[in-house]
Amino acid sequence: MSDGGIAVITSRYAVDGMACAHCVGFLTDEIERINGVRDVTVDVRGGTVIVTSERQLDPDEVRDAVEDAGYEVSRN
């Protein structure tokens, strides 16, 4: 996918432990710190986080950010 000449990659992660709007803020803040991340969409009810980035992200890098926010990436 491309956005104005810049390639973008969308990745979906299952995240455990989210329950409220505060979760959205904590997760978004941590994941947005990763170099190349352009957008983060958190679906609390669905237990998913969608990350749009300018490069392929290392899953461990995303997992670390999720854990820093106090949550866990599901192993599913």
Q: What are phi and psi of 29, to 5 degrees?
A: -60, -45
Closest C-alpha among 43, 53, 45, 54 to residue 13: 43
Question: In which band, very low, low, confident or very high, does the pLDDT at 6 lie, cut at 50, 70 and 90?
Answer: confident
pTM of the predicted model, to two decimals?
0.86
What does the alpha-carbon distance between residue 10 and residue 36 come to, in Å, rounded to a whole number?
12
Question: In which band, very low, low, confident or very high, does the pLDDT at 5 lie, cut at 50, 70 and 90?
Answer: low
